Amino acid sequence: MAVYISLLRAVNVGGTGKIKMDALRQCYADLGFPDAKSYVQSGNVVFTSDELDPAKLAKTLDDGIQQTFGHRADVVIRTPDQMRAIIAGNPFKQHEDEPRYLHVVFLTAAPAAADVEATIAANTGPEKVEVRGTEVYIFYTNGSGRSKLSLKGLKVPGTARNWNSVRKLVEIAGGFENT
């Protein structure tokens, strides 16, 4: 049985994509993942599966969420090892003690190099941004609420989590791995 961390895009953000976490856990159970554990209200779920293809899992979950809640969630799947590597690869380690300003955007695929260059070049704000594969690390110098940073130029859907959430999801996944 493999452990997975799923991150749903645009769930309970700004009044859109409303999904109660107990209903989301039930949806996962109905899809064959009865041990699903959610974390906070933004669509973070840790679960186990015999399926070894994360892309198949993401599609199964996205289709199930569409059927149950009426909207797609662009589900992103990461393994605990991938999440630990994301933490270890943080290019802004000096800011880890400011977790509400440090975010990771989990992309559904790696963006094209030209799109990364153009997106980084277009950032005229104070944010520090680095793209590494399917993750975008951002340090919001003045907080994310007033930022003008746009990642639309990457042309790949993704979902952001603050540093506290990233670390907590790894902790929750560790509980699954140690049972």
DSSP 130-177: EEETTEEEEE-TT-STT-----GGG-S-EEEEEHHHHHHHHHHHHHHH
SS3 13: strand
**DSSP for residue 98:** -
- b vs e for 123-162, b when ≥16 Cβ sit within 10 Å of the residue's Cβ? beeebbbebeebbbbbbbeeeeeebebebebbebbbbbbb
Cα Rg for the chain, rounded, in angstroms? Answer: 16
Q: For the residues 104-121, what does the mean pLDDT come to?
A: 96
Q: Is the pLDDT of residue 109 over 60?
A: yes
Could you read off the pLDDT of 49-79 as tens digits, one per residue?
999 999 999 999 999 999 999 888 889 999 9
**pLDDT-based confidence at 110, cuts 50/70/90?**
very high
SS3 72: coil
Strands 135-139 and 128-132: antiparallel
Domain-wise residue ranges, the chain: 2-81, 89-167
Q: Is the pLDDT of residue 21 over 80?
A: yes
Q: Is the pLDDT of residue 142 over 70?
A: yes
Q: What is the pLDDT of residue 71?
A: 85
Q: What is the pLDDT of residue 176?
A: 84
State the chain's mean pLDDT as an integer. 92
CATH topology of domain 89-167: Alpha-Beta Plaits (3.30.70)
- The answer to whether domain 2-81 and domain 89-167 are alike in fold is yes
Residues sharing a CB contact under 8 Å with residue 103, sequence separation 6 or more, in sequence order: 137, 138, 139, 140, 144, 160, 161, 162, 163
Q: For the residues 26-38, what does the mean pLDDT come to?
A: 95
Longest dimension (CA), the chain: 47
**pLDDT-based confidence at 16, cuts 50/70/90?**
low
Q: Answer yes or no: are the C-beta atoms of 76 and 58 closer than 8 Å.
A: yes
The CATH code of domain 2-81 reads: 3.30.70.1280
Instruction: Output 73 or 32, whichever has higher pLDDT.
Output: 32
Q: Is the pLDDT of residue 122 over 90?
A: yes
C-alpha count within 13 angstroms, C-beta hemisphere, residue 159: 22
Q: What percent of the chain has pLDDT over 70?
A: 95
Written as one letter, the residue type at 34 is P
